[in-house]
């Protein structure tokens, strides 16, 4: 389970934040070299763009630098290459299961399935909201990524 992909809709807010949080946790545990971590979007709205400025700012305030991220769209090859494909919300899972080969369904999970406090809750899309939405997203993601580290026994 060393290949982890985080997925949201446009790959400019939630999934790059999750990627950044998870990468930092792996660095702190001194196991980052053992992992391939990436993020993608279900839709091509923002392919080639940097993260949303509000997401970058809130991430940086918590010690996560996601400024070098470039948005990309989920590709069919991702279902083969990644061990875990973690969606931010139920719409993302629904979309992925529509395009995912049946033999890889088991890889697609909701990120918050790994949460200690926000289990089975979606990571809300903050794009159309205010700054508080971006703060809440990081709360959910930090909790889930810490749970994911525990799940992976590190």
Name the catalytic one among 13, 14, 72, 143. Answer: 14
Pairwise CA distance, residues 96 & 90, whole Å? 10
Name the catalytic one among 8, 13, 100, 145. Answer: 8
Pairwise CA distance, residues 137 & 148, whole Å? 16
Identify the sign of the CA torsion 146, 140, 78, 27.
negative
Q: Is 14 a catalytic residue?
A: yes
Looking at the chain, which runs of residues are DSSP E strands? 3-8, 36-41, 84-87, 108-110
Q: Is 125 a catalytic residue?
A: yes
Closest CA to 92 of 124, 129, 49: 124
Name the catalytic one among 13, 125, 143, 145. Answer: 125
Contacts of 27 (CB under 8 A, 6+ apart): none
Q: Would you tell me how many other CB atoms lie within 10 Å of the CB of residue 120? A: 9
What are the backbone angles phi and psi of residue 39, rounded to the nearest 5°?
-145, 160
Q: Is 23 a catalytic residue?
A: no
Catalytic positions: 8, 14, 125
């Amino acid at each position: 389970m060393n290949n982890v992909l985080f997925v949201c809709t446009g790959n400019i807010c939630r999934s790059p934040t999750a990627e950044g949080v998870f990468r930092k946790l792996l660095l702190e545990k001194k196991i980052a070299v053992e992992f391939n971590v990436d993020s993608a979007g279900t839709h091509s709205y923002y392919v080639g763009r940097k993260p949303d400025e509000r997401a970058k700012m809130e991430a940086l305030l918590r010690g996560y630098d996601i400024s070098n991220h470039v948005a990309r769209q989920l590709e069919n090859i991702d279902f083969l290459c990644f061990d875990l494909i973690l969606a931010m919300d139920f719409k993302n899972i629904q979309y992925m299961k529509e395009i995912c080969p049946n033999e890889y369904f088991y890889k697609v999970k909701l990120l918050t399935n790994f949460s200690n406090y926000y289990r089975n809750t979606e990571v809300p899309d903050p794009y159309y909201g205010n700054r508080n939405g971006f703060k809440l997203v990081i709360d959910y993601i930090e909790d889930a990524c810490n749970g994911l580290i525990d799940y992976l026994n590190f």
